[in-house]
A and B are shown apart, each in its own frame.
Chain A
Amino acid sequence: MDIPRYWRLKSQRYRLQGRRCTDCGSLSFPPRQVCMKCKSRNSEPYEFKGKGKLYSYTTIYQSPDRFEQIIPYVVALVDLEEGVRITAQLTDYFPEQLEIGMDLEMVIRQIYEDGPRGPILYGYKFRPILCPGIES
C-alpha cells in the first residue's frame, strides 16, 4: 500500500478515530462525511475507547500475498462498547480461548511489511482482555 494512503489513515489506525454527528449524536467508524442516520454533514472527531466484544471471527489459511507470512491468522468483527462494529485481526490469544461474545481490547501491532524494502505498517488489532476489571 502506498505511503500517503497509510499516512492519511493514521488517526484511524493508531487511535480508532471516527466521527460523531453533532446534529444527532450518532457515531461512525470509519469516519464518514455524511451521517448514516440523519444525513447531516456536521460532525467532529471521536475517539473510540477500544473495548469490545467478539461478534464473529475466522482463521484465514489462504491470503493475499502480503499476509502470507503470518498464515494462519484470525480476522474478526468486533462490537465496540460505543455501539459500532469494526473489522480487525486478533492477536495475543490461544486459539482454544476464542469464543463469540468474549471481551476484547485494542492494541497497536504490526499489520504487515510491505515487501522486504517497504515500510512496516502498524495499526489496531484486538486481544483478549489481559486484566479484566482494570482500566488500562
Chain B
Amino acid sequence: MRKVAIVGIGQTPVREHWGTNLRDLAVSALRDAMEDAGVENLDGITVGNMLSGAMSEQEHLGALVADYAGLDGVEGMKIEAACGSGAAAIRMAVKAVASGLMDTVGVVGVEKLTEFSANNVTEALATAADADYETTMGLSFVGINALLMKRYLYEFKFNKNDFSIFPINAHKNACYNPNAMFRYPITLDEYAKAKIVADPINILDSSPVADGAAAVIVVAQENVSQYKGKPVSILACEVGTDTVALDNRENPLWLKGAERSAKKAYHVSGLSPKDINFYEVHDAFSIISVLSMEASGFTEMGTAIRFAEKNGIDIKGKFPMSTCGGLKGRGHPVGATGVYQVVEAAQQIRETVAKEIQVERNKIAMAQNIGGSGATVITTILKKIV
C-alpha cells in the first residue's frame, strides 16, 4: 500500500446559501482545492453527501459535480454514510490512491439544507436511524442523542451545565474562523437558559444544520513534489461500525464504532491517544463529544468532562478541540462536515488559520466523523511533513 497525502484544500463559508445551488457549492470547493494543489485534472472524484435526493431532488451527484466542475470523462460517485458521508468519501479516495488504482483523487463533501422547513430537515435527518423501529416511533435525530445524554447524566451523576464546556469552547474558536456560521461567543448563563429541543438537549448543545462544501485532493505521498499545494500526510483514515439502531447495542453509552475506528487508526499510524496534539471532534451534540473522547481512548468512560476541565480543550489548553469552531460553531453541513474537519486540521498543520486559533502543537491531528448515532465512524489522523 502507498502512503497518501493531501496537497490541496478548499471550502465555502458555512452559511444559509440561499443564492447558491448544490452543484455550485460543490464545484467552488472542489475547484479551489484543485487550484491549491495546482492540478488541471483528476483521476476520479468522490462526493460525500447525505440528503441531495431527499431535499434537492438530485441524485447521481458524482456525475453532476464532475460534469459542472469541468471534469469531462472523469468518474465520480456519491458516498453516503449519514453525517459521516464526508469522511467516508475521503476514505474511498484514500483506498483508491493507496492501492495504486489512482494517483490524484478529488473529494468534495457538500450539503444544502437551510432552505427547507425545520420539520422537513428533522424528518430527513432521522433517516440515518432505523426507519422501521426508531424513526416511526417518533424518534428524531436529536431525540436519539437526548436518550444518550439522559442516561449519561443518570449513570455518572453530572450536572447538565457541566456539558457547557464543549459548546462554549466551540463558539469561542468559531469567532476567528471566517468560514464559520456562528462567529459569536456564548456564556454559561445562556447555556443554562437555552430552549430545550429534546430533553435534556437544548439548542446550545446542538450543532446547526447548514449549507456548505469542502474539498481535499488526495495523492500518493511519493508524488507530493509534483503538486503546488503544501502537503499534509494522511497517516490513517479508518472506519469502525456498530448497529444502526441504538437499542440494539449492549451499552449505548459506549460508541463501539468510535472505539473500533480509533483503534484501527492508532494501529495503522503506530500512534496512541497521547500522541494526538489536537482533536477535531464530531460535536454534533455535547454528549457526542463526551462519548467520542471516551470511546477513542483519550479518557476513561464517565470522565470526559473532568478530562476536558483538567487539561483544557481551548486553543492554549493541553488538548485543543474543535479548533475552528467544530460542528457547533462552524456549523454542520451534514455530508460535508467530515471534509471540513480534515480541511481545518490541515489548515492548523499548514499554519494558515487566524493567529488567535492557531494551536502551538500542530504536528499530529485527529478528526473523527460520526454517521447516525455511531453506526459508521471514520477516524482520520494527519501529520505535518517536516
Contacts and interface: CB of A to CB of B under 8 A. Distances in A.
A123 B135 CA distance: 13
A136 B147 CA distance: 29
Contacts of B246: 77, 87
Contact of B142 (A12, A62, A85): A62
B151 A65 contact: no
Interface in A55-69: 55-68
Interface residues of B, number: 35
Interface residues of A, number: 35
A62 B137 contact: no
Contacts of A30: 130, 132-133, 245
A81 to B, nearest CB: 15
Interface string A80-113: 0000011111000000000010000000000110
A85 B247 contact: yes
Of the listed residues A61, A88, A121, A123, the one surrounded by the most CB atoms of chain B closer than 10 A to its CB is A61
A67 B147 contact: no
Interface of A: 1, 5, 9, 12, 30, 36, 55-68, 70, 73, 75-77, 85-89, 100, 111-112, 121, 123
Contacts of A100: 150-151, 154
B198 interface: yes
Interface of A is mostly: strand
A89 B138 contact: yes
A56 B154 contact: yes
B150 A58 contact: yes
A93 B109 CA distance: 44
A59 B199 contact: yes
B198 A58 contact: yes
B242 to A, nearest CB: 12
Nearest to A55: B151
Contact of B143 (A1, A12, A36, A60): A60
